[in-house]
């Protein structure tokens, strides 16, 4: 089968996030399918951007990554969620639209997947699918336009929001299959006209290969911070990932202030637009129980998580989480066998489902501090049993070989 996968933000192990399209496509290639990934040359979530001869792309470029054919379309760089990002989106979609005849002739797709944060890629994917006589799949990462309305306060009457709403409604009407990473979207999608017989849930996951064998050693500063916490006899609480507003790390620092003088130490590795502000707080408030470090390579994440007693993941209190959450970070935590303190209010809770930790309300520093105390007070054997349940849960439901097969089965491919 020939699969054409449109994902504006697609990444790879060499470039960074987004990883999901890469992992799914790699499994499909291993199963004997041909996969072509269409992506933009610039994405704000990647650590690095694809280049030709060490320079940014000025023309489309194809390359093979683990058997996946990536086709990069040159798009302008941007920061934030303003006009620059809109220009980047339209540059990508315009180029793929124009490349439709060539893509159909060269790739002869049987399956065309529109997979991105925004839904306007459905128009391009629909054009390609119709010309190729292919099945059309709409993969939902986030609910747009609901996300910018509820998270950013944009008016439903804003011209951009009206455009996005038209795209979402078209996607639910015209796609042969809709795949959602979020598990509690049925009522909402039905209210927008989706025939729920088209809907299938395929969440995020992990790849077992990254968890086999001996992980590479931790960077020296990270290893030293963990060793110092152990030497002080502290319970080690860790966080690994993006340091942005959605991750509720100010709440974690508020909890750290309440935990001053107690035998808990927090070690945070990562980067993001709030990192400088968080680091300034640690210094200004004298939070000696918090260590903030630069992000580590993805390959070192298993070693970092293995050194923790408790892993933290937090969320803001926002209504849109009623449709569910599908965090990659949490899958890593569970696969590492971590006991998890989960600060959330959402339509689903993988930590509770797996029985691998404790869930407390979001944006509640006292609840986070108390939750960390409670987990730290558990006998070591009980924490190990929790961690083992989390690992078993991920292996059963959230590995990419399983998820890739579920995805294709939803599309009628056996």
Beta carbons within 10 angstroms of residue 209's beta carbon: 10
Reading the chain (414 residues) residue by residue, the pLDDT tens digits are: 999 999 999 999 899 889 999 999 999 999 999 999 999 999 998 989 999 988 899 999 999 999 999 999 999 999 887 899 999 999 999 999 999 999 999 999 999 999 988 999 999 999 999 999 999 999 999 999 998 898 888 899 999 999 999 999 999 999 999 999 999 999 999 999 999 999 999 999 998 888 888 889 999 999 999 999 999 999 999 999 999 998 999 999 999 999 999 999 999 999 988 999 999 999 999 999 999 999 998 889 999 999 999 999 999 999 999 999 988 899 999 999 999 999 999 999 999 999 999 999 999 999 999 999 999 999 999 999 999 999 999 999 999 999 999 999 999 997
Note whether 2-205+399-410 and 209-397 share their fold.
yes
Structure tokens at 132: 């190729």
Half-sphere CA count of 128, side-chain side, radius 13 A: 34
- Rounded CA gap, 385 and 412, in Å? 38
- Rounded CA gap, 231 and 253, in Å? 22
Annotated domain spans of the chain: 2-205+399-410, 209-397
Q: How far is CA 356 from the centre of its chain?
A: 20
pLDDT score for 45: 87
Question: Which homologous superfamily is 209-397 in?
Answer: Glycogen Phosphorylase B; (3.40.50.2000)
pLDDT score for 212: 85
Of 110, 204, 129, the closest CA to residue 171 belongs to 129
* β 264-269/235-240 pair status: parallel
Global pTM reads 0.89
- Rounded CA gap, 360 and 340, in Å? 11
State in Å, rounded, how far the first CA of the chain is from the last one. Answer: 11
Question: Which homologous superfamily is 2-205+399-410 in?
Answer: Glycogen Phosphorylase B; (3.40.50.2000)
Q: What is the dihedral of CA 187, 191, 192, 194, to 10 degrees?
A: 60
Is the CB of residue 5 less than 8 Å from the CB of residue 139?
no
pLDDT score for 215: 83
């Amino acid at each position: 089968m020939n699969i054409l996968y449109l994902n504006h933000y697609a990444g790879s192990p060499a470039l960074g996030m987004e990883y999901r399209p890469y992992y799914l496509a790699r499994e499909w290639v291993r199963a004997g399918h041909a996969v072509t990934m269409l992506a933009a040359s610039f994405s704000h979530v990647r650590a690095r951007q694809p280049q030709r001869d060490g320079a940014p792309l000025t023309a489309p470029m194809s390359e093979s990554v683990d058997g996946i054919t990536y086709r990069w379309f040159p798009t302008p760089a941007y920061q934030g969620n303003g006009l620059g990002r809109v220009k980047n989106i339209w540059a990508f979609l315009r180029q793929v639209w124009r490349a439709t005849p060539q893509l159909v002739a060269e790739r002869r797709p049987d399956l065309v997947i529109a997979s991105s944060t925004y839904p306007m890629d459905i128009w391009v994917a629909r054009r390609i699918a119709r010309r190729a006589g292919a099945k059309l799949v709409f993969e939902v990462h986030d609910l747009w336009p609901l996300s910018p309305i509820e998270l950013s306060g944009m008016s439903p009457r804003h011209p951009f929001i009206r455009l996005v709403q038209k795209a979402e409604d078209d996607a639910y009407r015209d796609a042969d299959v809709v795949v959602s990473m979020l598990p509690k979207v049925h009522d909402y999608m039905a209210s927008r006209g989706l025939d729920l017989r088209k809907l299938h849930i395929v969440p995020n996951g992990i790849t077992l290969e990254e968890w086999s064998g001996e992980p590479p050693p931790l960077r020296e500063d990270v290893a030293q911070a963990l060793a110092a916490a152990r030497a002080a006899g502290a319970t080690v609480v860790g966080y690994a990932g993006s340091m942005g507003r959605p991750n509720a790390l100010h709440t974690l620092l508020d909890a750290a202030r309440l935990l001053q003088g107690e035998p808990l130490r927090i070690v945070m590795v990562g980067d993001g637009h709030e990192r400088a502000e968080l680091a300034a707080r640690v210094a200004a408030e004298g939070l000696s129980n918090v260590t903030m470090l630069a992000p580590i390579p993805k390959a070192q994440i298993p070693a970092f998580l293995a050194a923790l007693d408790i892993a933290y993941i937090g969320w803001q209190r926002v209504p849109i989480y009623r449709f569910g959450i599908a965090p990659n970070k949490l899958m890593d935590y569970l696969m590492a066998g971590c006991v998890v303190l989960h600060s959330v209010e959402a339509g689903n809770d993988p930590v509770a489902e797996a029985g691998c930790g404790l869930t407390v309300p979001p944006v509640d520093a006292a609840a986070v501090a108390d939750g960390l105390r409670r987990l730290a007070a558990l006998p070591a054997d009980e924490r190990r049993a929790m961690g083992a349940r989390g690992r078993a849960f991920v292996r059963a439901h959230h590995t990419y070989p399983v998820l890739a097969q579920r995805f294709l089965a939803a599309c009628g491919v056996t």
